[in-house]
Structures are given as C-alpha cells and as structure tokens.
C-alpha cells in the first residue's frame, strides 16, 4: 500500500490548526480518535471538524 504524503508545508499548516483546537488531546483528536500528526501527513485526509 502506497501512502500519498502531504507536503511539509501543508502538514505544518494543518498541525498549527490542530494545536489550537479544543478537540486536541495530547497527540489524538477527541472527535475522531486519530493520531493527529499521522492524519495531517496524508494528502487525502481531512479534519473531521472541517478545520483543514
């Protein structure tokens, strides 16, 4: 299985949005349970709350 990675710039923008989100708990999203850094690194993934 090949993963389609987001650019570092896009990943960093996504992580910046997550860092101020009240749903962030340590390294996971309390809304969907994902590991935020991994999800933000994948090109085709989206924030379940629509923040990116």
Name the band, by pLDDT with cuts 50, 70 and 90, for residue 2: low
- Per cent of the chain over pLDDT 70 is 96
Q: Answer whether 5's CB lies under 8 Å from 42's CB.
A: yes
**Once rounded to an integer, what is the mean pLDDT over residues 35-52?**
97
Domain ranges of the chain: 1-52
Distance, CA of 2 to CA of 39 (rounded, Å)? 15
Name the more confident of 3 and 44: 44
Name the more confident of 33 and 1: 33
Three-class HEC string of 1-52: CCCCECCHHHHHHHHHHHHCCCCEECCEECCCCCEHHHHHCECCCCCCCCCC
């Amino acid at each position: 299985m090949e993963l389609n990675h987001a650019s570092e710039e896009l990943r960093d923008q996504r992580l910046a949005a997550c860092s101020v989100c009240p749903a962030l708990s340590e390294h996971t999203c309390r809304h969907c349970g994902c590991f935020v850094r991994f999800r933000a690194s994948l090109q085709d993934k989206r924030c379940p709350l629509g923040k990116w």
